[in-house]
């Protein structure tokens, strides 16, 4: 597939320039804040760089964190394409992690090539169901998906806590967690000695698959049409309700896969203290990527690098780890308000092009 051509078709020059300038500007503002707080800017950013791309191990670790960011970022982006704001990626990720963990430790005696795919698919289905529920509620009753996905997050996070501390608890463990999954359900490592696992490859495949679904299939055409103009979709004979449910199910499935990957490739169990946050950062990643599946990759990598590099930055420059959050917040602010960047760099607005409707207001 010719990626260059895709960008030419889907993204103009400014669609790349503005996010890039947003990131640079945020780093500059970050530098000013570091300087103002009396720390060494050079040491801080050197720490940030070395902590994320300094050597083979940190690079591998950055890709370890990139993996769930890609999948949850894709999940949110896919929802945006159908005009849906899926804030529930976090809960859907938990659902996927739970299902994969259960299959991983409870189903014994299966060979690797059967056990692993079943565990992965269980994760996708669990996340998909958890996403489809708010999709169904929206289609049938008009209940807004933002409210319901938030509520579904709370339910799933509490449910996970209960299950891991009660029926799924490993009694031999010193901290509350499930039993370890069997070797036959492991996602293999890509390189020996590094934690980077095959979940990363699955995430890359997912990017291409989601691109294909959105732009090359009937289902994707319907989902995008519903996302851009519901009335025209109905006029063209498309079933709006079906597409809402389907888009939320696919979105949830992607987040579920992210959860399954964390359990099967990294943790090998599900601790009660499992806190990901990936599902919430995913909203920012999808916004930065403007819901373009290919752009989700660099934007997920950026988030992973900031997340991983923050620790070393804190140690080297003796500044708060929260500074990274400030930089992230500025990136999002500039992306959400591109006119600030246009003003700063005197970029003329192009004529409005094939936009993606990122969010819609309430009450519609």
Partner 1 sequence: MSKDNHMSEEILSLKGVVKSFPGVLANDHIDFSLKKGEIHTLLGENGAGKTTLMNILYGLYTPDEGEIFIDGQKVIIHSPADALSHGIGMVHQHFMLIPNMSVCENIILGNESKKRGLIDEEQATGRIETLSEKYKFSLNPGDMVKDLPIGMQQKVEILKALYREATVLILDEPTAVLTPQESEELFEILRSLKDEGKSIIFISHKLKEVLEISDIITVLRDGKAIGSVRPDQTDEGHLANMMVGREVILKVHKEKMHKGKPVLEVNDLTVFDRRGVSVVNGINFNVHSGEIYGVAGVQGNGQTELVEALTGLLPFVSGEVIIDGAKIEGDNPREVFERGTAHIPEDRHKYGLVLPYPIRDNLVLCSYYHKPFSKRLALNFPVIIEKSSKLLKEFDIKASSILDITETLSGGNQQKTVVARELGREVKLLIAAQPTRGLDVGSIEYIHKKIVETRDAGCAVLLVSSELDEILSLSDTIGVIYKGQIVKTLSSEEATKEQLGLLMAGILEKT
- Name the residues that contact partner 1, by CB under 8 A: 9, 216-219, 221, 225, 228-229, 231-237, 350-355
Q: Select 96 or 227, whichever has its Cβ closest to partner 1.
A: 227
**Smallest Cα–Cα separation from 4: which of 318, 271, 294?**
294
Q: Residue 258 in contact with residue 66, Cβ under 8 Å? A: no
CB of 223 to partner 1, least distance (A): 12
Q: Select 4 or 351, whichever has its Cβ closest to partner 1.
A: 351
The residue assigned the tokens 């519903």 is: 226
CB of 136 to partner 1, least distance (A): 21
Alpha carbons 339 and 350: distance in angstroms, whole number: 12
Q: Select 9 or 114, whichever has its Cβ closest to partner 1.
A: 9
CB of 80 to partner 1, least distance (A): 13
User: Taking the C-alpha atoms of 142, 145, 148 and 153 in order, what is their torsion angle to the nearest 10 degrees?
Assistant: 160
CB of 218 to partner 1, least distance (A): 5
Q: Select 213 or 295, whichever has its Cβ closest to partner 1.
A: 213
CB of 231 to partner 1, least distance (A): 5
Q: Residue 255 in contact with residue 262, Cβ under 8 Å? A: no
Q: Select 175 or 354, whichever has its Cβ closest to partner 1.
A: 354
Alpha carbons 274 and 177: distance in angstroms, whole number: 9
Q: Residue 184 in contact with residue 112, Cβ under 8 Å? A: yes
Sign of CA dihedral 186, 191, 196, 201: negative
Q: Select 214 or 310, whichever has its Cβ closest to partner 1.
A: 214
Q: Select 217 or 325, whichever has its Cβ closest to partner 1.
A: 217
Distances (CA, A) of 293 to 79, 147, 205, 287: 12, 25, 11, 11
**Smallest Cα–Cα separation from 253: which of 133, 128, 135?**
128
CB of 97 to partner 1, least distance (A): 30
CB of 61 to partner 1, least distance (A): 38
SS3 17: helix
SS3 177: strand
Alpha carbons 37 and 23: distance in angstroms, whole number: 21
**Smallest Cα–Cα separation from 228: which of 127, 50, 80?**
80
């Amino acid at each position: 597939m010719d990626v260059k051509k895709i960008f030419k078709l889907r993204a103009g020059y400014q669609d790349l320039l503005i996010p890039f300038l947003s990131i640079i500007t945020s780093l500059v503002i970050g530098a000013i804040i570091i300087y103002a707080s009396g720390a060494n800017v050079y040491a801080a950013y050197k720490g940030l760089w070395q902590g994320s791309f300094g050597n083979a191990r940190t690079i591998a670790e950055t890709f370890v964190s990139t993996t769930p960011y890609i999948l949850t970022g894709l999940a949110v982006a896919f929802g945006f394409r159908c005009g849906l704001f899926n804030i529930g990626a976090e809960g859907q990720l938990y659902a996927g992690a739970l299902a994969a963990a259960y299959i991983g430790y409870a189903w014994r005696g299966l060979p690797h090539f059967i056990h692993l795919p079943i565990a992965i698919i269980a994760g996708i289905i669990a996340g998909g169901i958890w996403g489809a529920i708010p999709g169904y509620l929206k289609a049938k009753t008009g209940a807004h998906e933002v409210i319901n996905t938030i509520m579904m997050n709370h339910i799933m996070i509490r449910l996970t806590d209960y299950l891991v501390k009660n029926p799924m608890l490993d009694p031999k463990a010193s901290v509350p967690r499930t039993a370890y999954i069997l070797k036959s359900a492991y996602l293999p490592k890509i390189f020996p000695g590094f934690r980077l696992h095959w979940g990363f490859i699955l995430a890359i495949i997912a990017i291409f698959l989601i691109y294909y679904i959105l732009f090359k299939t009937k289902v994707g055409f319907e989902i995008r049409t519903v996302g851009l103009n519901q009335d025209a979709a109905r006029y063209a004979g498309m079933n709006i309700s079906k597409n809402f449910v389907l888009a939320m199910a696919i979105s949830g499935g992607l987040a579920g896969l992210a959860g399954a990957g964390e359990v099967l490739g990294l943790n090998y169990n599900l601790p009660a203290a499992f806190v990901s946050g990936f599902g919430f950062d995913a909203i920012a990643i999808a916004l930065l990527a403007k819901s373009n599946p290919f752009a989700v990759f660099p934007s997920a990598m950026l988030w992973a690098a900031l997340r991983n590099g923050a620790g070393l930055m804190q140690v080297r420059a003796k500044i708060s780890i929260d500074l990274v959050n400030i930089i992230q917040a500025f990136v999002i602010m500039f992306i959400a308000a591109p006119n600030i960047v246009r003003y700063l760099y005197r970029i003329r607005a192009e004529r409005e092009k094939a936009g993606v409707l990122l969010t819609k207001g309430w009450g519609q």
